[in-house]
Amino acid sequence: MYTTELIILGAANLGALLSLFLLPRGKVLQHHLVFLVVSLPTWVIGLMVVEWGLLAYPVRELAAINRTSFCFEYFLLPIVAVHYNAWYPENKRLGGRALYLLLYCSALTVPEILIERYTDLLSYLHWSWYITFVSEGFIFLYSRAVLLWFFRPSSHRMS
């Protein structure tokens, strides 16, 4: 098996195992909502970025039907967003919550930089790591806002 395939399988397995063992069991509905809410924009944005020639995935899963990274766009980023929301520090000050966001964005961006530099899984054509960093931040904040809106107290719901 090639190194690139091992990286893809390892990342997918790590994401699945971390979700299986680390996510709180009592919030399964919230986890599913975040996963689905994040999957839609990452799918659309991922396809647009590839079609516009900003990024390329020379080695990818399902290459005959999809030019994006299936593992990252449809699995890993939504799983990381689920973890982001599951362990979100609601009782911290703004600085603590901002640091939490920066840590999650860094946890995805740093490996992506290494993958882009040392493997054939990803090529930045007209892209840079900070675009990834900022876009992931927006995705995490978006998922948090939808989660809070969807599970707001019943007194604020429309009749």
**pLDDT tens digit sequence for 114-136:** 999 999 889 999 999 999 999 99
Residue 69 covered by a domain:
yes
Percentage of the chain modeled with pLDDT above 70: 96
114 within some domain: yes
Average pLDDT over residues 40-66: 89
Total of domains in the chain: 1
> Rounded to the nearest 5°, which phi and psi values hold at 57?
-115, 85
Q: What is the mean pLDDT of residues 90-105?
A: 97
pLDDT band at 55 (very low <50, low <70, confident <90, very high): very high
CA atoms within 13 A on the CB side of 38: 31
Domain presence at residue 23: no
CA distance 105 to 136: 6
Judge if pTM exceeds 0.85. yes
60 pLDDT band, cuts 50/70/90, is confident
Q: Is residue 38 part of a domain?
A: yes
Residue 22 domain flag: no
- CA atoms lying within 13 Å on the CB side of residue 7: 18
Are the C-beta atoms of residues 82 and 31 closer than 8 Å to each other? yes
Answer yes or no: is 44 within a domain: yes
Q: Is 26 helix (H, G, I), strand (E, B) or coil?
A: helix
Instruction: Report how far apart, in Å, the C-alpha atoms of 73 and of each of 10, 56, 80, 94, 156 are.
Output: 16, 13, 11, 29, 33
pLDDT of 9 strictly over 90: no
Whole-number pLDDT of residue 1: 54
Domain that holds residue 122: 4-8+28-150
Evaluate whether residue 94 is within a structural domain.
yes
